[in-house]
Amino acid sequence: MSEKFTVEMPVRFRDLDPLNHVNNAVYVSYLESARVAYVEEVFESSLSDISFVVANLEISYERPITMDDDPVIVLWTTDLGTSSCTMAYEIRVDGDVAATAETVMVCTDLETGRPTPIPDSVRERVQAYDDLE
């Protein structure tokens, strides 16, 4: 496998809750931003050309993130189905895991919104990037 896909994510003041921690819901926004970057780079596609929706999301919080932290989101695909894929994430700060997450993404037809098979070109790129069979 090549290096796992990594995105630096700056903490913005608006991300903070009253305890000066990044709000738990913002972690999910960080995942989304990383996923969009992954689609653009690994799929070699824009979100206007291919549609994936979140069918399932699980997240485990390990430690708070604060304004002084520089989080990095690490993302990789762990499984490819016919019309879905499973993606794993780690949000890291200074090499320590602040959260782990997993999403199941379903490829949908841009016009109907119904599930559709993942295009072969995308499948091949993901398999090569994340060393999947």
pLDDT tens, residue order, the chain (133 aa): 458 999 999 999 999 999 999 999 999 999 999 999 999 999 888 778 889 999 999 999 999 999 999 999 999 999 999 999 999 999 999 999 999 999 999 999 999 999 999 999 999 999 999 999 7
- What the block records as the tokens of 66 is 């604060």
Give the DSSP letter of residue 20: S
| Residue 1, pLDDT score | 47
Q: How far is residue 102's CA from residue 80's CA, in Å, rounded to a whole number?
A: 13
Nearest to 129 by CA among 97, 95, 87: 87
pLDDT at position 2: 59
Whole-prediction pTM: 0.93
Query: What is the set of domains in the chain, with CATH numbers?
Result: 5-130 (3.10.129.10)
What was the pLDDT predicted at 45?
82
pLDDT of residue 42: 92
